Every structure is written in structure tokens, then in C-alpha cells.
Structure 1
């Protein structure tokens, strides 16, 4: 496919996404199935175009003065890729499979459209209904935080210290330009390719052999802030695919025991092959079983319970830009309810003196500080662990600068930490 034909196809796919409010991945897959002539490079290029358009959907609409998928795509070519009006016009000439020629209004938008006077949610490219929540957390920096969330995300890797040192893993991935992460002592960052895509790791020996795992630096830090120590009894209550369980196992050097469970047994299934690849021996999976309490033997036995709570995922918008436009207020309310329920479940497994670590990949106060405040108000037997104490205990004292000003906990964001958005708070049972 020519570059012009790719833009035309991207407009078609974006129209499908906008019309049916469906995930971008589904629309891209269906388009690929019905256009078998498109090769792997074409499909990858289309995905890059679509996700770029979704990153800047609000600002592209504003500068173009239109909400049409075509306007969003054209605006994104300027906003995300720095293309000039002349460059875009050369591709949109109506010849062959190219998009139709630019209208006078489109030319004006591309040449002179600005974001002057645009509201914060447009400049920051986040949903208008979340503007009060962003303002409550970030104040005057809400736009900058939104812009950082709309940027492309690098590829971060966690070095599996059960199998390799960071230096060894970096040497194995030197050809990809891997460099140490700034905050995580066990992370590597692989820069984006010139086309904005991450390299594939499927054929990389370091990945195949389990020397590294794909994990955002923020997620690595969240696992490290748990302060899991060798010999401890640890419950990962919302283990999901197991990324943090694997990280905890490495922190504990395979000593002690980690019990990984999740309400969704299917999510745990993918962890079995990862355990073998990572050479992890101290993780015991506890999938739910109807009519059976699979955690009954852990009541008041755990030194640490991790609640990596289901959330709106606002901190992961760099990787899932379409999710922010499909999110609705009802989803936030449902997640808050689930978070409260999980915190109440978690406490019965924590022994006196044990720790509760609450993690989300959300930036919203409603899912973070507000949930912790409500929990501490209900449970007199728990006291908050200060951000500085939490960071220092994990050997990451430098993270104390990310302490929340809204309550106990730390908040990492793309703008401040260069990571995905994460919130981590700790409490101790008295």
C-alpha cells in the first residue's frame, strides 16, 4: 500500500471506531481480515496512524473545526507527525486509492488552526467529563499531564534477577538501543523506532529465555514498593496475568511463598508458562473454585497483601489511547465499588504487623486517595505508611518526591516520572 492509500484506509477504520464505539484493536483486526492484500507492514503502519489519531482526537477536531474521522486523521498528521499542509495535500490528491483532495476549510485548518482559546480537556486530549477530576489532582498542570498521556510510550523491560543482572540483559539487547531506566534499578528501556513503533521481542533470545519481561517502569516500581522480602508470606489478590507476582518472586529471591489469585480464573491461566520461563519456584496459583474458599488457610497469615485493583486505567492511556474515549462515568463508579470491596476482602488475610499495599494504574483521586481515606476511616486497626517510609523501606528513597499532596501514597505520571500512571499506597495492621 502507498502512504496515501494507508491514510485513506486509516480514515475508513477510524470511522468504524467512531461510529460503533468499538475498541481500535477489534476494528483493525476486522479490516485486516477483509483486506487480505495488506501485508504485515501495512497493518502495522495503519495501527500507528489510528493510535496517533486517537491520542490527539480532541485537539485535532478543534484545529480542523470538524468532528469527522477524516478531519481527526488529517489533524493528527499535523499534530502527531509534524506534517505540513503541503505534505498532507500531496498525499490527499484523490488519485488512485488516495483520499480526496483537501477542501478549502481543511487547508485553512491545517495551515492556520491553533489551540488558542481551547479548553483544558481539548489541549490535554482527555474526555471533557473528566476535566474536574484532572483539575482536582493536577491543578494548573492538568494540560501538561494530558499531553504526556497522549504521547507514545516506550518499551520498558524488567530484568528477571533470578536469571540475569541488568548489565547482562542490557548487553544482550544492545542492538535495540536498550538503556537503564531512570528510576527502576531492574529496568531497561528500548526507544521507539522512527515510525513510532516498538520493536518485536518474539525472536530475541533474552526475552525467549526469560531474562527480561515486558513491564512498564511504573509497574516495576509499584512491585518494588511492596517491599517483599525473602521468607515472607505474600498474597497477590488481583494477580491477573501475573506481572507483579513474577516481580515479587524475584524480589524475594524465590524464598518464602506468593499466593496468586484473581476473580477471573482465565486471566491466571496465562501465568503457568511464564512461571517456568522465569525460573520462579515460590508462586502458588490459587484460581477460584465454585463453592470453595481457596484462601481459607491464609486468614491472618500474610506479611503482605497486594491489591492491584481493577481501575479505569487512566494512567495507561499512552498504550491504550482509544480507552479514554470509550470510558464513561458509570465505569468509574463501578470501579470504585470494586476497589472498596477488594480492600475489605484483603484485610482478613493480613497478620498483625503485616502490610497492605494498594495499587492502581489510575491517576484519579476518586480511585486512589479517596479510596484509601474511606478504608482507613472504616478500619481503625490500620494506619497509613507514609510515602517516604514506603519508598525508603524499599530502597527507593528517591521516590519520596512523588508523594501525593492529597493523602497517603505516591503518584507516578508520564509527565513527572516518565512512566505510565500509577498510584501506590501502603497501610499497616496494628
Structure 2
């Protein structure tokens, strides 16, 4: 397919996406099945165009003066990919399978339009109803924070120190131009190709042998800041697929005992194969069994309880750009109820002197600092470990992180704009 034909296909898919209100991955998959002539390179390039358009949906529509799929794709090419009006016109030449030529108004917008007078939610590319929520956290910087969340995310890997060193991993992935992360001593970063395509890391020997795992550097930092001690007793209460469980095991050098639990058996299912590949030996998986309390024997015994709470995922918009347009106020209220219940339940496992690490991939006050304050009101024997103390788990890098991140009384907020990571909130509390 020609570049123009790929653009036309992306416009068509975006129109289907808007009309059907379905997850973008499903719509792209259906289009690929119905258009077998498109090769893997074509499908990848078209998918990248659609995802980039979702990232810039509000600002692109503002630039072009209308919200049609064509306008959004054209506006994205200028704002997201830096193409000028002439380069975009060459893609829209009206020949076979390409978009119709630019109109005079479209060319005018592409040549002279800007976001100078755009409101914050347009410049930051997020839904209007979230503006007040983001203003409460970032104030006048909310548009800049949103714009950073509209960029593509790099591919981050975590070195599994149970299988080798960061130097080993860098050597094994030198052909992918992997570099060390900015904050986590375990992080490697691989930049994407210009069209947004990531290399097939899961087919690399380093991955297959368990030397590296795919994990955002912000997620890595959250586990490090929880500071699991060697030989300790740890409960990963919302383990999901086991990303942080694997990291905790490596940080603890396979010593002590980690209990991995999630109330959804389907989310927990991948953990078994991942533990084996990573060479982890100190994890006991506690799968849910109906109404039985499979964690009852752990009450009051844990040195550390990690709560990677379900949330709106506002900090992961770089990776899931369609999610920010699908989220509704009701979802925020539901996540807040879930978080409160999980935190209240987590308290029963923390022993005197033990710690509770509360983590979300959200940017919203209601899910982060407000949840911590509510919990402390209900559990007065817990206190916040000051962020200035928490960052010391990273050594010198922690001091740099404290200066870069948004430091709150209740914890630390990482963002793409400030730390180059996904948006994570981390609060560590200690029981008296």
C-alpha cells in the first residue's frame, strides 16, 4: 500500500471506531481480517496512524475546525508527526485509494492554524470533564502534562537480576540500541521506530530466557520505592499478571516469601509461566477460591503489603490513547470504591512495624492522595513514610527523582512530562 492509501485506510478505520465506540485493537483486527491484501507492514503503519490520531484527537480537531475522522487524521499529521501542508497534500492527491485533495480551508488550517488560544483540555488532549480534576493536581501546568501524555511511550524493559546483570542485558540487546534508564538501575529503554513500531522483544533470546521483562520504568520505580527487604514476608495483594511480583522477587534475591494474590483468576493466570521463566523460587501464588478467604492465615504477619490498586489508568494514556476518550465519570467513582475497599482489607495483613505501599497508575487526586488521607483517618495507627525518606531506596537517583517528580505530603507522583515514565503514584505507610 502507498502512504496515501494507508492514510485513507486509517481515516476509514477511525470513522468506524467513532461510530461503533469499540476498543481500537478490536476495530483494527476486524479491518485486517476484511482486507487481506494489507501486509503486516501496512497493518502496523495504519494502526500507528490510528493510535496517533487518538492521542491528538482534541487538538487535531481544534486545529482543523471540525471533528471528522479526516480532519483529525490530517491535524494529527501536522501536530503529531510534524508534516507541513505540502507533505500532507502529497498524501491526499486523489489518485487510486488515496484521500481526496485538500480543500482551500484545510490547507489554510494546516498552514496557519495553531493551538495558541486553545483551552487546556484541547491543548492537553483530554476530555473536558477531567479538566477540573487535573487542575487540582497540576494547576496551570495541566495542559503541558496532558500534552506529554499524548506522546508515544518508549519500550521499557526491566533486567531480571536473578538471571544476569544490566550489562549482560545491554550486550544482549545492543542490536536494538537499548540504553540504560534514567532512574531505575534495572531499566533499559528502546526507542520506537519513526512509525511507532516496536521491535519484537518477546522473540529475543534475552526475553525467552528470562533476562528481561517488559515493564515501564515508572512501574519498576514503584516496586523499588516499596523497599522489600531480603528475607521478609511480602503480600502482593493485587498481583495481576505478576509484573511487580517478579520484580519484588529479584529485589529480595529470591529470599523470604512473597504471596501473590488477585481476586480475578484470569488476571492472575499468566503469573505461573512468568515465574518459571524468570527463575523465581520465593513466590507462593494464592489464587481465589470462591468465597473462601485464601489469605486468612497471613493476617498480621506481613512486613510489606503491596497494593497496586485498580484505577482509571490516566497515567498510561501514552500506551492506551483510546482509554482517555472512553473513560466516564462513573468509572472514576467505581474505581474509588474499589480502592477504598482494597486498602481497608490490606491493613489487616500488616504487622506492627510493617509497611503498606499504595500504588496507582493514575494522576487523579481522588484516587491517590485523597485515598491515602481517607485510609489514615480510618487507621490511625498508620503514618506516612515521608517521600524524602522513601526515595532513598534509589540512592543518589532517588534524590534526583524527588526533584523531578511531583512530591506531595502523601506520596510521589511520576508523570511522562516530569520523569519520562508512565504516570504512577506511590505512597508508603508504616504501622506503629
Band of TM-score, shorter chain: over 0.9
- Do the aligned residues in 2 keep the contact of 1:402 with 1:411 (CA within 8 Å)? no
Structure 1: how far apart are the matches of 2:155 and 2:117? 35
Q: 2:416 corresponds to which residue?
A: 414
- Do the aligned residues in 1 keep the contact of 2:405 with 2:418 (CA within 8 Å)? no
Where has structure 1 moved over 3 Å in runs of 4 or more? 393-397, 402-406
Structure 1: how far apart are the matches of 2:392 and 2:29? 46
- Do the aligned residues in 2 keep the contact of 1:157 with 1:212 (CA within 8 Å)? yes
2:391 equivalent to 1:397: no
Comparing 103-112 with 38-47, greater Cα deviation is found at: 103-112
Structure 2: how far apart are the matches of 1:393 and 1:350? 20
Matches of residues 119-134 of structure 1 in structure 2 within 5 Å? Answer: 119-134=119-134
Structure 1: how far apart are the matches of 2:296 and 2:60? 53
Comparing 393-402 with 220-229, greater Cα deviation is found at: 393-402
Q: 1:344 corresponds to which residue?
A: 344
Structure 2: how far apart are the matches of 1:82 and 1:119? 21
- Do the aligned residues in 1 keep the contact of 2:386 with 2:409 (CA within 8 Å)? no
Structure 2: how far apart are the matches of 1:221 and 1:379? 26
Q: 1:376 corresponds to which residue?
A: 376
Structure 2, gaps ≥5 residues long: none
Q: 1:17 corresponds to which residue?
A: 17
2:168 equivalent to 1:168: yes
Give the match's secondary structure for 2:31: helix
Structure 2: how far apart are the matches of 1:402 and 1:349? 33
* Aligned-pair Cα RMSD in Å: 1.1
Give 1:155 shift. Answer: 0.6
Comparing 362-371 with 403-412, greater Cα deviation is found at: 403-412
Q: 1:367 corresponds to which residue?
A: 367
Structure 2: how far apart are the matches of 1:72 and 1:79? 10
Give 1:381 shift. Answer: 1.3
Q: 1:258 corresponds to which residue?
A: 258
Q: 2:100 corresponds to which residue?
A: 100
Give 1:203 shift. Answer: 2.5
Count of equivalent residues:
430
1:287-327 per-position Cα deviation (integer Å, ceiling 9, x unaligned): 10013111011010110000000000011011111110111
Q: 2:428 aligns with which of 420, 426, 429?
A: 426
Structure 1: how far apart are the matches of 2:370 and 2:16? 37
Q: 2:327 corresponds to which residue?
A: 327
So what's the TM-score if we normalise by structure 1? 0.98
- Do the aligned residues in 2 keep the contact of 1:402 with 1:410 (CA within 8 Å)? no
Structure 2: how far apart are the matches of 1:236 and 1:383? 20
2:250 equivalent to 1:283: no
Give 1:405 shift. Answer: 5.0
Structure 2: how far apart are the matches of 1:391 and 1:224? 9
Q: 2:268 corresponds to which residue?
A: 268
Give the match's secondary structure for 1:425: strand
Q: 1:43 corresponds to which residue?
A: 43
- Do the aligned residues in 1 keep the contact of 2:376 with 2:383 (CA within 8 Å)? yes
Structure 2: how far apart are the matches of 1:194 and 1:204? 21
Comparing 102-111 with 10-19, greater Cα deviation is found at: 102-111
Give 1:62 shift. Answer: 0.4
Structure 2: how far apart are the matches of 1:416 and 1:211? 29
Structure 2: how far apart are the matches of 1:268 and 1:314? 23
- Do the aligned residues in 1 keep the contact of 2:63 with 2:113 (CA within 8 Å)? yes
- Do the aligned residues in 2 keep the contact of 1:412 with 1:420 (CA within 8 Å)? yes
Structure 2: how far apart are the matches of 1:195 and 1:68? 23
Cα 1:226–1:90 change in 2 (3 A) is same
Comparing 192-201 with 115-124, greater Cα deviation is found at: 192-201
Give 1:196 shift. Answer: 2.3
Give 1:53 shift. Answer: 0.5
Give the match's secondary structure for 1:67: coil
So what's the TM-score if we normalise by structure 2? 0.98
Cα 1:194–1:264 change in 2 (3 A) is same
Give 1:258 shift. Answer: 0.7
1:319-367 per-position Cα deviation (integer Å, ceiling 9, x unaligned): 1111101111111111011000000010111111110000000011111
Q: 2:73 corresponds to which residue?
A: 73
Cα 1:2–1:116 change in 2 (3 A) is same
Comparing 89-98 with 356-365, greater Cα deviation is found at: 89-98
Give 1:407 shift. Answer: 2.8
Structure 1: how far apart are the matches of 2:34 and 2:163? 43
